[in-house]
Copies of this chain bind each other. A is one copy, B any other.
Amino acid sequence: MMNTEGITSSNSTENAILAAAEREFLTKGFAGARTTSIAEAAGVTHAMFHYYFRTKAKLFDRIIEEKISLLKEALFNPVENENASIEETIQTIIERHLDFIAANPDLPRFITSEVYSNTERSDVFLSQITKYAPIMLNNLQSKIDRAAEAGHCRHVDARMLILDITSLNIFSFIAAPILNAAISGLTADFEKFIAMRKKENFDTIMRKLKP
């Protein structure tokens, strides 16, 4: 099981600051976050913030690195089972991805907006993507090609398939407040909503793959 509870350390003050900072940064972004608010939320004096982490940027970098490794683990470790059918593979990808986002609902918005508004800080993230995504996409493409030749599915582009899956899985979380305004109470029962989208998105993708 992966760590979805955030960052931990041995020191309780340090811990409290880290937890408060994660919340502040994830919900407000780097520019909107305030070190005074973080210290206050952590229940420590503001000087403690600087004592443990020196600067706002350093603490932000530490948290974004933690999130990057979390993402890497969730996205690029699909425990490739050579024997799994294309249908099983797709289902596993969708379910894991959606479970991961459900456990980290603020992460997509945080990553997309920080990567966009910032260049230096997000280079680490983008270089990780550049490194790992092509491998994952090639593996999936081979699997699709083999299944297509055996007549089990259509010959689709793995890159478009992953773009479809991530779009369908992630967008609801990024736009949650707007969806709730458009469709009253849609995400009110969160568990139910996730379960529904899992089925729905799997169905959508499988129809696309069907010969």
Contacts and interface: CB of A to CB of B under 8 A. Distances in A.
A116 interface: yes
B115 A113 contact: no
A111 B178 contact: yes
A164 to B, nearest CB: 6
Contacts of A130: 181-182, 184
A183 interface: yes
A121 interface: no
A171 B167 contact: yes
Nearest to A118: B32
Interface string A170-211: 111011011101111010000000000000100110011010
Interface in A88-114: 109, 111-113
Contacts of A182: 129-130, 133-134, 137
Contacts of A166: 171, 175
Contacts of A113: 29, 109, 113
A104 B178 CA distance: 18
Nearest to A113: B113
A112 B175 contact: yes
The 4 A-B pairs of least Cβ separation, nearest first, read: A31-B32, A167-B171, A133-B182, A129-B181
Interface of A: 27-29, 31-32, 109, 111-113, 115-117, 122, 126-127, 129-130, 133-134, 137, 159-160, 163-164, 166-168, 170-172, 174-175, 177-179, 181-184, 186, 200, 203-204, 207-208, 210
